[in-house]
Structures are given as C-alpha cells and as structure tokens.
Amino acid sequence: MSSTFTGQLAAFAISDTRPNSAALKMAQLSALDWLACGIAGVTEPVAQILRAQALAEAGAAQATLFGGTAVPARMAALANGTISHALDYDDTHFAHIGHPSVAVFSAAFALGQLQGRSVSQIIEAALFGMELSIRLGVWLGRSHYQMGFHQTATAGAFGATAASGRLLGLTPGQMEMALGLCATRAAGLKAQFGTMGKPYNAGLAATAGVEVAQLVAAGFEANPEALEGALGFGGTHHGEGNRDAALQDLGRVWLCEEISHKFHACCHGLHAALEAARSLDLAAPEIASLTVRTHPRWMTVCNQTAPETGLGAKFSYRTVLALQALGKDTARLDSYSAALCRDPRLVGLRDLIHVQADESLTETQAYVTLVRRDGRRLEASHDLQTPVAYELRQERLMGKVQALIGAERSAALWAMLQGSGSAADIAAHF
Amino acid sequence: MSSTFTGQLAAFAISDTRPNSAALKMAQLSALDWLACGIAGVTEPVAQILRAQALAEAGAAQATLFGGTAVPARMAALANGTISHALDYDDTHFAHIGHPSVAVFSAAFALGQLQGRSVSQIIEAALFGMELSIRLGVWLGRSHYQMGFHQTATAGAFGATAASGRLLGLTPGQMEMALGLCATRAAGLKAQFGTMGKPYNAGLAATAGVEVAQLVAAGFEANPEALEGALGFGGTHHGEGNRDAALQDLGRVWLCEEISHKFHACCHGLHAALEAARSLDLAAPEIASLTVRTHPRWMTVCNQTAPETGLGAKFSYRTVLALQALGKDTARLDSYSAALCRDPRLVGLRDLIHVQADESLTETQAYVTLVRRDGRRLEASHDLQTPVAYELRQERLMGKVQALIGAERSAALWAMLQGSGSAADIAAHF
C-alpha cells in the first residue's frame, strides 16, 4: 500500500473492509432520499434542459435518466447529478461541507446499471464513495469553501471517482491514477448558487467520476500525486491539507453515519425552528403568539416576512411555521404556493409569529416559545446536529419520500434498496 | 453592452467586427496545423483510449472523430481536443501561456459540423475564440500559471465557449451566461504534464466550451459574473486580474497574429538552436565543431547527451542538430528513432557538438557557432519571437504538415481551408 495521502484513500476505496451496519443502513436511507429527489426533480427547468441534451445525443443505452430513457453512463451521471440536486432537497454532511449523495449515487447507479450490478453492490460502492468525499471535504477544509469552491462539486468528484472505480474493479495503482486524474477535472464554484449552475455542479462531479474511472480502466495513465503533490489540487484550490483529520480512523469510523436529511422542502435555515415547533404539536386555533429565536446569519437568508410566491415561502420563518400550524405537510413541494401565501387563515396566523436573532445560538439551533390562548407558555428547542435514531429517521424519511413520489413507488423502491434487486429494477422507476 | 469584464468579452465574441486579414490568414494556418496534429495524433495510446470511449458511447452522428466515425459534438470535442494535443506538436502563444488552437478548433469544428457551417464560418468563430482565450490568459496572468494551472485548459475553455457560442448564435446576455457557466466547469492542472492527462486537459477545455454553449442556447441560466465577480474564477484560481491589458485594443489588435508554430517534432527548447543552425546550411562532412549557447533553463529540460530512444532524441540538442546536419527532416515524427540514435554517423557527429548555458539569452533565443574543417568560423542566432513573414510561415508549415500527413492530404485540406468547403468536407479527411 502506498503511504501517500492518495495511496491511503485509494486503498480504502477498493478495500474489503466490511462497513458497519449503521453506515450501510444510512447509505440505504440516502439512496432512497436521492431517488425521491431525482424522480421529483424531473419537472424542474434545469432537469428538462439536461434531459433534452442527453436525448439529442442519444447513444448506447447504458444507464437510465431520471424521467426515463437509457443513455451512456457518463451522460446519465451528468444529467442525474443535476436533476437530483435541482430541488436542493437532498442530504447534507456538515464536515464534508456539502451534499454527499448527489454526486456519488448519480455516478454509482449509472455505472452499476451499465455493469449489471446488484443494488447492494451499488450501495456499498456509494458508501465508500461518500465516505471518501467527506474525508476529502475535511482535507480541503473551510478555507477551500470560504474562498469560493462548492465542495459538493469538488470533494464530490473524488467520491464519485472512488465509487465508480470500485464498481469497475480498479487495481490500487489504477485507483490512485483515477483520483489523480480527477484532480485535473474536478471543478465547481459557489458563484453559481441561486442559478441552474448549482445543481449542474453536482452533475459535473458525478460525470467526472464516471469519466476518469472509465478512462483509467481502459489504460489511461495519469499522475497519481496530482491531488496532494506539488502543483496539486489541494495547493491550487486553497485546501487546508488537514491530512491527519481526513485519515483519522479511516475504515473503522464511518463519518457517513452523521449524514443529515432534509425533512422540509424549504431553506435549511428554517429546519431547526420547524423541528422545535413540531415537538409542541401546534394547532392554529390555540396560538396567541409564537416566537422564534435563531442564529443571526439566517435573518438575511430566510426571514421574508410576507412572501407572495411559493419560492418566497421557502425562505420565510413566519410562513413555514404558519403552514405547519395549519396542518400542511412542509415536506411536500406543493405546500409552498402563491395561493397559500394569500390564504386569510395563513396571513392571520403569520402575524402572530415573531422572529428574533440570538447570537448565543449556533447555526443549527433554534428555540421557539409558544403562548397559547389559554395563557399557557410552552418552550422547545432543536439542534439539527442531534443524532436521530434509525427508526425515527427512517419513518420521517419515508414520510418525505411519500410526499415527493407517492406511497406506492416509495414502498417499491425501499423494498428493492433493502433487498436483492438490480440497478435496472430500480431504474424502471425513474 | 454590459460594462463588466465578461460583458465586454461577450460583446466581442459575438460582434460583427471584421477581423483583419493577417489574423484571418493566421487562423487558416493554425487550422491546417491543428488538423495535421489531430490526424497524425490518432495512433497515440491516449488517442486510442478516447476513441474507444467515444465509440462505445456512440450516439447521434454530429461530428467526426479524428480517425473517423461521427459521434455527439460534445464527445467529439473531448476526444479531438485530446488527440490533437497528444503529439504536443500544435501551436503556442506566449501571452496566452498556452496552446491556442487545440481547445478552440476542436470545439468549433465539432459544433460547426453539427450545424452544417462553412469552413470560413468555423475559422472566423475559432479566431474570435482563440483571441478571447489569449485575452483570458493575459487576464489570469503568470500567477495563475505558476500556481499550477494549465492555461491551455483553463483560458482555453473560455475560448472554446466563445467560439461555440458564436456558432450557436447566442445573444449578448446568453454569451455572458455561457462564459459565467464556463467558470464553474473550466479546470486543468500542470501536475498532469508528462502524462496522458496533459492532452486530456485540452480535450476538457474543448468539451466544456461545447457543453456550456449548448446548454445556454437551450435556456440554461447561469451567473454571468462568475468569471470576475465575488467568489469568481479569477479570485478562486489565483488570477492576476490584468483587466486593462486583457481588454486593450480588443477588436482592433489581434493578438492571434503572434501565434507561433512548431516546425520541429521535438521539445520547444530545441527549436531556436535548430533554426539558427538551419540558417548556416550545415552539411555533416564539413563540421569540425558546432557550439550551441542557450538559456540555462533548458539544460535540465532538453540536453540529454547520448539518448538511446526516439523519445530521448526529442530532448537532446546534440542529437537533433546531428539529425539536421545529416539531412533528416526534423519535422517528421519518424526522424526520432532508436535506430538513428545508434547510427555510427550520428554518434560520430554528435561528439562534435557542444552545448553551453548562457544567462544573457532569453528562453526563446539561441546562438550557434560552426567551425568548419576548412577552418572557417560561422555564427548564427535565432529568436523564436521574431515575426515570420506569412509566405515563409506558410511554406514551413506546409512542409511540416506534409511530413505529418502526406502531400496529397495536405494540399486537399489547405485548399478547403482557403475555399468554400463545409466542415463535413474537412471531416471526410479525419
């Protein structure tokens, strides 16, 4: 085994290490979450543009696009990576500083389908890939992100490479070269946030992984030290080079266990408040006032006071909490509509909700204080970083997935993800 | 017209400005040079790997690969960009710090063929693209290159975008968005030098240009300020931001007129010495001694004293000068062989040749001093930056192209590049 940083990552990516059960179960949940985001994301305009490009190019029927039709795996990864991030509703990992599943699953399902792999092989490859992209995110660190790089795209490309290379059966030396070749291909800027370029960045990472792994499997020779070496990706891309932290307990501890899933179809800054209020079991008629305290950072991000559009509602504490109190499912995309923004019941309720910045909180914490009409006062708080028990997470996630793609398709996909289906079986539901 | 940096580049890229005749003629020569490098490059291992990938993916017959068979334009650009840089025999621009034609012509010919454009439209679009990539190279500056970025790939991607967007008839606003989208896609590290990753970087630039221009033409919306804005490509990629120099006389002065072509199939560091010696009209039997003075930098790059392989010969002053004196054509790929390295006439001649470092020279200069057997002493010098008259350049280039792809194909391609053929006519010779 090579002792270089890339050498250790490559050895991990192709190792026989048996992932622990909690990590594997998390990867199954993330696969379900990714599938739902992709299937539901197909109607987004950026999804239609990528699909049209893929259909015009056509080619070998290797891997299925969300929305149907099989195209070359490299193209399917580009399109599906973009489509599954279009709603910005997919999972997150705070140490990765990014969304771990979109790049990796888009690559792994595309290559897995091409190679006729089983679902369990794909999930295992994706778990190794996600773990590697999180480790890469730790290695690149906050300086890389702060300078302007979109870690979902950059660290994500290396994760997609690892998953792809594992499925292709690369040797250790080939895996090192694939990671090295990825270093000349990985890209993605935060400057695209707020545009179609953001989900495209995820697609770029997915297709980069498929492309470099396929080329290296075919005999392509690249510099295996282009990640950390002189003039490598880390140095050129403002990486911190946190090598020890990135490699700590690699193969024994799975950072993937700390993946967090979105249970509300709105800005992440609103989620802690929604979770806190949820625990109070709000019912609109009983509310005299509801006060939210949140980290000051969110006040300029998601505190629109009286939005008039569905998109605006997704960035408004007052609106999403009023929706929740009215019994609307905040996991559903169609709960955020212009019609609901104008609903007199929602408008009346919204005016009872107050938002305050509180510097003592972290960005993942929120407090809510409810004063009921009977005079009782209730308080609750939530921190998004609090671990969620598997059963509860699975139940919440299934609720979200059902809201996105319906109960029947959710049940079928979940059974296949836990069972012995093939990639093609899953793709039949795209 | 937008007054941003990107706005001015975009306006130039789609403008009706009529390029001056010298620039257009240079673009015709570079097109011929690019075609010869691509057609001759097909047998390289990296070319075979990219062709195999393209043939396995197949798809719509939009643009022809070097070596034949039409595939989607996006893929043709990736493969042809890689293939045409595989020999490292294509043109150079010192202000660009890169090879201007490989990314841009690979994109422009692929899209031009898809759209049924004439050769003259493609050459014009490529000229605008090359000019923009040179300007981008000036803007990014030496800091970007020194830090580790391969400007052929990074600046080249923006040039490929400009040429592609011009052929697709993008509006000014779309061209700005295409350049902005390219900012999240452009990548390429010098860490790949010496591996197949180097030519691949050129392919990445070509396909990036085709891809982002096609997506924007289909309605994709991106941040039009992702090049120079906050968190943009310049800041994240160690650019110097030489805005005034980059925009100086844009549309009036064509930096493309300063493109330099390689006339010898060996390391660029040897070319000034070969040109200087060439002017002495060496004949082996008359040589008592030949002394070369060159910039010290080259001593560790291309001063192998007694190489035994064809590749080694390409990095050896003594060997290439001996080849030239023996009447071998240093423009031909097969002049650099293990057999010639062992030829007693060459070995004997090589020992009469001496190489000295001279700090007073620039990297593009060389001096040679010949002492003949009759006692006469002759001196000559050459600077690669000296302008070459069009007729002489055309004659030298035609000699090179004939050495690469034969007289008949050279003549046919040159006639079409100057005439009224279509992209498909040219592609029939791939």
- Ranges of chain A with pLDDT below 70: 1
B213: closest chain A residue by CA? A53
A57: closest CA of chain B, how far (Å): 5
Task: Say if strands A353-357 and A287-294 run parallel, antiparallel, or are unpaired.
Answer: parallel
User: Could you tell me which of B149, B366, B376 has the C-alpha nearest to residue B270?
Assistant: B366
Q: Does the distance separating the beta carbons of A53 and B57 come in below 8 Å? A: no
Most B CBs within 10 Å, among A46, A48, A55, A57, to test the B interface: A57
d(CA A275, CA A85): 23
Q: Does the distance separating the beta carbons of B185 and A192 come in below 8 Å? A: no
d(CA B62, CA B57): 13
Query: Nearest CB to A189: which of B75, B192, B231?
Result: B231
pLDDT tens for each residue of A42-52: 999 999 999 99
Q: Does the distance separating the beta carbons of A194 and B147 come in below 8 Å? A: no
B189: closest chain A residue by CA? A184
d(CA B335, CA B328): 6
Residues 6+ apart with CB under 8 A from B72: A56, A57, A58, A59, B57, B59, B60, B62, B63
User: Could you tell me which of B125, B113, B166 has the C-alpha nearest to residue B423?
Assistant: B113
Q: Does the distance separating the beta carbons of A215 and B53 come in below 8 Å? A: yes
User: Could you tell me which of A263, A168, A268, A148 has the C-alpha nearest to residue A210?
Assistant: A168
B371: closest CA of chain A, how far (Å): 44
A364: closest CA of chain B, how far (Å): 25
Contacts of B235 in chain A (CB under 8 A): 147-148
pLDDT higher than threshold 90 for residue B282: no
d(CA B302, CA A374): 89
Q: For residue A382, give the H/E element and its range.
A: strand A377-383
d(CA B84, CA B110): 13
Q: Can you tell me the mean pLDDT for B281-301?
A: 89
pLDDT of residue A1: 54
Query: Nearest CB to B197: which of A53, A59, A223?
Result: A223
pLDDT of residue A421: 85
B226: closest CA of chain A, how far (Å): 6
Residues 6+ apart with CB under 8 A from A108: A122, A123, A125, A126, A129, A160, A163, A164, A167
State both tokens at A3: 């002792």
d(CA A362, CA A429): 40
Q: Can you give the residue ranges of every domain in chain A?
A: 5-260+390-427, 268-383
State both tokens at A60: 């070998």
State both tokens at B246: 């980059």
DSSP calls for B54-111: HHHH-----EEPTTS-EE-HHHHHHHHHHHHHTTS-S-BBTTTTB-HHHHHHHHHHHH
d(CA B232, CA B224): 10
Query: Nearest CB to B231: which of A58, A190, A218?
Result: A190
User: In whole angstroms, how large is the CA radius of gyration of chain B?
Assistant: 22
Q: Does the distance separating the beta carbons of B189 and A233 come in below 8 Å? A: yes
Mean pLDDT, chain B, rounded, equals 95
Contacts of A197 in chain B (CB under 8 A): 180-181, 184, 222-223, 226
d(CA B122, CA B18): 14
Mean pLDDT, chain A, rounded, equals 95
Q: For residue A348, give the H/E element and its range.
A: helix A344-350
Q: Cα separations (Å) of A162 from A25, A32, A298?
A: 20, 21, 35
> φ, ψ for residue A187 (rounded to 5)?
-160, 165
pLDDT of residue A195: 92
pLDDT of residue B300: 86
Most A CBs within 10 Å, among B78, B83, B111, B184, to test the A interface: B184
User: Could you tell me which of A80, A22, A41, A74 has the C-alpha nearest to residue A256?
Assistant: A22
The burial of A116, by beta-carbon neighbours within 10 Å (0-12 exposed, 13-18 middle, 19 or more buried), is given as: exposed
Contacts of A194 in chain B (CB under 8 A): 223
- Name the DSSP class of A269: G
d(CA B18, CA A404): 54
Q: Can you tell me the mean pLDDT for B89-107?
A: 94
State both tokens at B80: 């042809």
State both tokens at B305: 């004293």
Query: Nearest CB to A189: which of B58, B72, B226?
Result: B226
Q: Cα separations (Å) of B105 from A109, B203, B417?
A: 34, 11, 13
The burial of B312, by beta-carbon neighbours within 10 Å (0-12 exposed, 13-18 middle, 19 or more buried), is given as: middle
pTM: 0.95
CB A134 within 8 A of CB A93: yes
pLDDT tens for each residue of B310-324: 888 998 999 999 999
Most A CBs within 10 Å, among B189, B212, B214, B238, to test the A interface: B189
User: Could you tell me which of B77, B96, B97 has the C-alpha nearest to residue B164?
Assistant: B77
User: Could you tell me which of B14, B10, B30 has the C-alpha nearest to residue B22?
Assistant: B30
A422: closest CA of chain B, how far (Å): 22
Most B CBs within 10 Å, among A50, A179, A220, to test the B interface: A220
pLDDT above 90 as % of chain B? 90
Q: Does the distance separating the beta carbons of A58 and B196 come in below 8 Å? A: no
Task: Establish, for the pair of chains A and B, how many residue pairs have beta carbons separated by less than 8 Å.
Answer: 178
Q: Cα separations (Å) of A153 from A134, A136, A150, B107?
A: 12, 11, 6, 24
A56: closest CA of chain B, how far (Å): 7
d(CA B125, CA B159): 10
Q: Does the distance separating the beta carbons of A220 and B191 come in below 8 Å? A: no
A112: closest CA of chain B, how far (Å): 16
d(CA A19, CA B211): 38
- Could you give the 3-state DSSP secondary structure of residue A249? coil
Task: Say if strands B353-357 and B287-294 run parallel, antiparallel, or are unpaired.
Answer: parallel
d(CA A24, CA A162): 17
d(CA A88, CA A8): 32
Q: CA torsion sign, B167 to B172 to B173 to B179? A: positive
Residue A279: count of CB within 10 angstroms of its CB: 12
B63: closest chain A residue by CA? A57
CB A95 within 8 A of CB A385: no
Residue B297: pLDDT band (50, 70, 90) is: confident
Residues 6+ apart with CB under 8 A from B405: B35, B36, B39, B40, B413
The burial of A379, by beta-carbon neighbours within 10 Å (0-12 exposed, 13-18 middle, 19 or more buried), is given as: exposed
Just give the CATH number of B5-260+390-427. 1.10.4100.10
> φ, ψ for residue B193 (rounded to 5)?
-55, 140
A180: closest chain B residue by CA? B192
User: Could you tell me which of B343, B88, B340 has the C-alpha nearest to residue B192?
Assistant: B88
pLDDT of residue A301: 83
Contacts of B196 in chain A (CB under 8 A): 220-222
Q: Does the distance separating the beta carbons of A49 and B215 come in below 8 Å? A: yes
Contacts of B173 in chain A (CB under 8 A): none
Contacts of A223 in chain B (CB under 8 A): 191-192, 194-195, 197
Q: What is the dihedral of CA B193, B194, B200, B205, to 10 degrees?
A: 20
Total residues found in chain B within this entry: 430
pLDDT tens for each residue of B56-73: 999 999 999 999 999 999
B74: closest chain A residue by CA? A57
State both tokens at B97: 């710090």
Contacts of B220 in chain A (CB under 8 A): 46, 49, 196, 200
pLDDT tens for each residue of B170-180: 999 999 999 99
Q: For residue A354, give the H/E element and its range.
A: strand A353-357
A186: closest chain B residue by CA? B187
Q: Does the distance separating the beta carbons of A191 and B223 come in below 8 Å? A: yes
B166: closest CA of chain A, how far (Å): 19
pLDDT of residue B1: 54
Fold (CATH) for B268-383? 60s Ribosomal Protein L30; Chain: A; (3.30.1330)
DSSP calls for A93-157: BTTTTB-HHHHHHHHHHHHHHHTT-BHHHHHHHHHHHHHHHHHHHHHHHHHHHHHTB-HHHHHHH
